[in-house]
């Protein structure tokens, strides 16, 4: 595709509901990142994939957060039993470098999650 695509753009979830956020990276991009961005803050690192391997998940805030990229392309970030503090914009980025952050990262428009 032309760029990184994220869906849905907006998601309203009731507290306790499970949600799944999808990221379609640029075709052929090896590295994929997920970030969480609270209002007025910078993006906070959540997790990083190199192809299908999840090399770093140190930023996931709790075991309610789970990410996968089973075929090394599309990735899904799942949040179980959502809580109000999960409300944020979730950004996905991909790069062509096998050493993820060594080159320009291309970002999707993000998914704005609101937990009510």
Partner 1 sequence: SQQGEEDPQALSIQEGENATMNCSYKTSINNLQWYRQNSGRGLVHLILIRSNEREKHSGRLRVTLDTSKKSSSLLITASRAADTASYFCATDARDTDKLIFGTGTRLQVFP
Which residue among 4, 32, 67, 79 contacts partner 1 (CB under 8 A)?
4
Which residue among 91, 94, 113, 115 contacts partner 1 (CB under 8 A)?
91
Measured in whole angstroms, how far is the alpha carbon of residue 58 from the centre of its chain?
A: 13
Residues 84/103, Cβ–Cβ less than 8 Å: no
Q: Is 83 helix (H, G, I), strand (E, B) or coil?
A: coil
Which residue among 22, 56, 68, 80 contacts partner 1 (CB under 8 A)?
56
48 lies in the binding site for partner 1 (CB under 8 A):
yes
- Minimum distance between the CB of residue 102 and partner 1, rounded to whole angstroms? 6
Tally of CB atoms within 10 A around 85: 10
100 lies in the binding site for partner 1 (CB under 8 A):
yes
Report how many residues bind partner 1 under the rule CB under 8 A.
28
Distance CA 89, CA 96 (A): 24
Closest to 64 measured CA to CA, from 18, 103, 96, 104: 18
**Interface with partner 1 by CB under 8 A: which residues?**
4, 31, 33, 35, 41-45, 48, 50, 55-56, 59, 91, 93, 99-110
């Amino acid at each position: 595709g032309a760029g990184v695509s994220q869906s849905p753009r907006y998601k309203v979830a009731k507290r306790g509901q499970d949600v799944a956020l999808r990221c379609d990276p640029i075709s052929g991009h090896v590295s994929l990142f997920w970030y969480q961005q609270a209002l007025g803050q910078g993006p906070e690192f959540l997790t990083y994939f190199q192809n299908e391997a999840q090399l770093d998940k140190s930023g996931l805030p709790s075991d309610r957060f789970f990410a996968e990229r089973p075929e090394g392309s599309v990735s899904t970030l799942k949040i179980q039993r959502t809580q109000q503090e999960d409300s944020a914009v979730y950004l996905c980025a991909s790069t062509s470098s096998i050493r993820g952050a060594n080159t320009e990262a291309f970002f999707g428009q993000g998914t704005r999650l609101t937990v009510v």
